Structure 1
């Protein structure tokens, strides 16, 4: 807005040209703005920020000793209207003169206060010196509208006269003496601690050597005992393996003899079945020849009678011939049935019995071998039996191949025969498994030979 001005937060706006309140020659505005009428009012700005002034002054103490004192003053224009007016009337045109004037004021008071004190007081009581300078300059600073925020004595030296150093010499000697005493005491304590540590290390080494010797002796005894136990265990294991091998060989020999006996019995049964089949076939051939001769004689007789008789007799004769042929067909069918039983069923049953006996013997031998070896479980025994199943079916098929079989219903009949062979082999396999699983006590148990964990 035209004519409206606002001072900065660290500034005071001084408006002249108008009537001010009270005895103030001009209007002071801080913290807010004001309207300045052009041509009739004039606004100037006075900084309220902190300023700094350094003082380096050669001062003479009460003892006549010259000291070089360096100090720093931090000051600013006061925040009240009276201080702003006083500072504005003095420094508004050249605000940089504030630092120069403050330095001169504090230099004079510094010389005055130092002249009333000794070197010892100045060195040991710097705060007293600073408070004296502040108290002496406070009234003058207030007159020019300034306030002091801080006054610090930075350094004090005797301009290489050596007085301050000589003053510190007794204290330095005492401190060095105390330091030497403390160092000697520390060295003595360190030596004692080192000796104690060496004694402790020697004792620890001695105890360690004793413990190591004891441990070595115990380890030697334990190793000797372990070697002795291992040797005894090895001997027991060797004896157990030898006894197990001996018992296994005995059992295998017994079962080998049993298997040989079973095979001999099976071969004998098969031979007997073969002989019976041959006798049945011979009897069938003889009966067939007799029946055919009788039938032919009767047919010839009927034909002879029919040729001698008339048409009626011929018809009767033909009826009798048909009846005789029917009876002949019936007898042929019965004889064929007996022939099939003799040629197929009996040999097949004998061969199946032989195969079953052999399969049982082989299964029993396999089970005994598995129990003697003590390393196979029930699954291994079933696997061995399954491996023998094709051999069982093959033996049955070979037995059937030796028989004179007539298939009446073609491929269906062949399929039925093959299915029957496989079913018979599976039945033998199931019977062998059931016989082995149902047997509560084996010869190995009776002989005292333990079985493996998988055979239980």
Structure 2
């Protein structure tokens, strides 16, 4: 569009010819466009891009040692309006002067800062040197509308004096010593590792030999066992045959024993039992005959006792002649009393009869082991007495 101007992204558009105000002789436009009236307004563009400035300056340290210091500065125009105005007033007509002037400013501050430091400090504290140079030049750079993005000390040279090399010699010696020690330790570790490897190899060979010997022994044992398997089987078979024959002989002996028992011992025991039974029968017959012979005498004795029974009862009744007796049951009581007297007489008779019978036939009884109760039960004379 006619009269409309737009600056680039890394440019600031400066419009002069109007009323820019007391603070700025021109209007600053960045990031957007603006209408510019031809003939009445003039437009110029100030670069805001980064530029580089190199400095290689001979300096003298605090110790009086001459050093050549090489540094690189990265700077640009500030983005704020004040910085753009300051830079435009100084560099708008010739913007190529900005790197040159920046290098000169930093060279002066670099000489000043190095003059207050020793070589050792410069070598070991380069960042401190750069920070002090930046701090010393910050005010001057701000007046020109410039800002420093970075400052890098690239090289420090003593011009062949050998001071820096000599300063590094103790460190180099220490480093070499440490390197030698490290190499010796590495060699020792390698030797120990080799010895360990040899020991492990020997241990492995020994274990392998022991394992092989064990396998060989197991193989020989298995072979010997296999060789003995046949004779052991034959021996076991023969033992089984012997056991079978032994068992057969025991069975035959048992069978023969049973035959002897059935054919000899049992018939002999039967004959002996038969003889014992016949002997007992004969003894019983003899006893019965003896008792029968003695029974005739007892019958006469029993008849005499029977004849005396009334007299016994009479003597028992005489005991009640002078007694006073009260009958509680009348005629029944009298009957009970008479029956008791008769029973008492019978008991006395039985007692006398038993005493007489036990004294008389002792020498006539047969001499066998049968009890008297059996003879008394079978005695016909006693049976007769019971009936009486």
Q: Distance in 1 between matches of 2:180 and 2:43?
A: 71
Q: Distance in 1 between matches of 2:28 and 2:193?
A: 77
Shift of 1:176: 1.8
TM-score by length of 2: 0.56
Q: Distance in 2 between matches of 1:196 and 1:189?
A: 10
3-state SS of 1:54 partner: strand
Q: Does 1:122 align with 2:122?
A: yes
Q: Deviations over 1:112-165 (max 9, x none)?
A: 111111111111111121122112211111111101111110111111111001
Which residue in the other structure is 1:214 paired with?
Answer: 214
Which residue in the other structure is 1:99 paired with?
Answer: 99
Q: Distance in 1 between matches of 2:207 and 2:71?
A: 70
Which residue in the other structure is 1:184 paired with?
Answer: 184
Shift of 1:224: 8.4
Q: Does 1:111 align with 2:108?
A: no
Q: Distance in 1 between matches of 2:115 and 2:227?
A: 102
Name which one, 1 or 2, has greater alpha-carbon Rg. Answer: 2
3-state SS of 1:82 partner: helix
3-state SS of 2:9 partner: coil
**CA distance 1:224–1:111, change in 2 (3 Å):** same
Q: Distance in 2 between matches of 1:92 and 1:26?
A: 12
TM-score by length of 1: 0.48
3-state SS of 2:134 partner: helix
Q: Distance in 1 between matches of 2:152 and 2:142?
A: 19
Which residue in the other structure is 1:79 paired with?
Answer: 79
3-state SS of 2:54 partner: strand
3-state SS of 2:18 partner: coil
3-state SS of 1:38 partner: coil
3-state SS of 1:62 partner: coil
Which residue in the other structure is 2:42 paired with?
Answer: 42
44-53 or 205-214, which deviates more? 205-214
Q: How many matched pairs?
A: 230
3-state SS of 1:156 partner: strand
Which residue in the other structure is 2:155 paired with?
Answer: 155
Q: Deviations over 1:415-448 (max 9, x none)?
A: xxxxxxxxxxxxxxxxxxxxxxxxxxxxxxxxxx
Any unmatched runs of 5+ in structure 1? 230-456
Which residue in the other structure is 1:68 paired with?
Answer: 68
Q: Distance in 1 between matches of 2:29 and 2:216?
A: 99
The within-5 A match list for 1:237-386 is none
Which residue in the other structure is 1:17 paired with?
Answer: 17
**CA distance 1:227–1:70, change in 2 (3 Å):** farther
Q: Does 1:5 align with 2:22?
A: no
Higher helix share: 1
Shift of 1:197: 2.2
Q: Distance in 1 between matches of 2:226 and 2:30?
A: 102
Deviant stretches of 4+, over 6 Å: 223-229
Q: Distance in 1 between matches of 2:49 and 2:226?
A: 95
The within-5 A match list for 1:223-238 is none
Shift of 1:226: 8.2
Shift of 1:182: 2.9
